[in-house]
Amino acid sequence: MREISVDLVRDAIKTMCIEANCILSDDVYQAIEKAKTTESSAVGRELLCQLTKNADIAKRDYMPICQDTGMAIIFLEIGQDVHFYGGYLEDAVNEGVRLGYEEGYLRKSIVKDPFIRVNTGDNTPAVIHTQIVPGDKVDITVAPKGFGSENMSRIFMMKPSDGIEGAKDAIVQAVKEAGPNPCPPMVVGVGCGGSFEKCALLAKKALLRPIGSVSPIPHIYEMEKELLERMNKTGIGPQGLGGNTTVLGVHVESFPTHIAGMPIAVNISCHVTRHTHTIL
């Protein structure tokens, strides 16, 4: 049994919220850099240059890359041999978010109720996903998510007869419909299989993978490749103003499912796809 103070979790989350929002992770930065050399539109190339310049300014001034510093999505993989002391874990996570958003001058974008829309003032609560895993470590990922792109995400409860071709068409369609709204170039996370909520979670987790990483499953790997190609042929381009850089990456995660179903979730993200990761 390993004893861990929840204060440690709180402090890690605080730092990670700020870092995730101010420093564009290297995989995304490099993907934009690479796109500059392949983008066919001159306006598109200029826009991609603005994006890396923006990231440079954000890093230099330690200010948010984008003003939508997101809803804090937090994944905790907790080793089953860990015992937390000093308070309730979720309270510590939310305290970390509160401190991070305050001290980092991040925008507070959370309203208390979906219908009675009063801002909570400190960007809490976070959306927390915990998973119990073997071992005695705590693996923390902080992935603040902006809603310009979140709003463009879709879930399709497809029929098995739709097959992989039907799934690919639906996923590409979601990107076409998103168009200029999610600040393209986008990053697209796809979840296939499981149940209604499982595929959504898989899609979200797919966004945590570094851009450029590929699925180890052969037919899913092929699917990722084809989706990337098809999406970049839609013409949407940077900011929706035309070009061949519509998406920087497509990551697909899959899971066993029921004989009667084929759930497909598409979680759309933007060129400010944020994820920081640490292990306690």
The footprint of ligand SF4 (CB under 6 A) covers 66, 68, 146, 148-149, 182-183, 270, 272
Q: Which residues inside 94-133 make contact with other proteins, applying CB under 8 A?
A: 105-109, 117, 119, 121
Residue of closest CB approach to ligand SF4: 146
**Contact between 148 and other proteins per CB under 8 A:** yes
**Contact between 36 and other proteins per CB under 8 A:** no
Judged by CB under 8 A, the residue of 38, 67, 80, 213 near other proteins is 67
**Part in contact with other proteins (CB under 8 A); list of ranges 39-47, 85-93, 124-132, 255-263:** 39-47
Using CA atoms, how far residue 23 sits from 155, 198, 267, in Å, is: 30, 30, 22
Give the binding-site size for other proteins (rule: CB under 8 A). Answer: 49
Q: How far is the CB of 44 from other proteins (least distance, A)?
A: 8
Round to whole Å and give the CA distance between 251 and 265: 12
Q: Which does 113 bind (CB under 5 to 8 A by kind): ligand SF4, other proteins, none?
A: none
Q: How far is the CB of 217 from other proteins (least distance, A)?
A: 28
**Contact between 47 and other proteins per CB under 8 A:** yes
Q: Which residues inside 160-189 make contact with other proteins, applying CB under 8 A?
A: 179-183
Q: Which is nearer to ligand SF4, 147 or 196 (CB)?
A: 147
**Contact between 54 and other proteins per CB under 8 A:** yes
Round to whole Å and give the CA distance between 226 and 75: 29
Q: Which does 61 bind (CB under 5 to 8 A by kind): other proteins, ligand SF4, none?
A: other proteins
Q: How far is the CB of 153 from ligand SF4 (least distance, A)?
A: 11
> Please, what is the end-to-end C-alpha distance for the chain in angstroms?
14
**Contact between 38 and other proteins per CB under 8 A:** no
Q: Which is nearer to ligand SF4, 182 or 191 (CB)?
A: 182
Round to whole Å and give the CA distance between 93 and 44: 39
Half-sphere exposure of 201 (CA within 13 A, CB side): 13
**Part in contact with other proteins (CB under 8 A); list of ranges 136-144, 208-216, 252-260, 269-277:** 269-277
Q: Which does 110 bind (CB under 5 to 8 A by kind): ligand SF4, other proteins, none?
A: none
Binding site for other proteins (CB under 8 A): 40-41, 43, 47, 50-51, 53-55, 57-58, 61, 63-69, 105-109, 117, 119, 121, 146, 148, 151, 179-183, 233-237, 239-244, 270-272
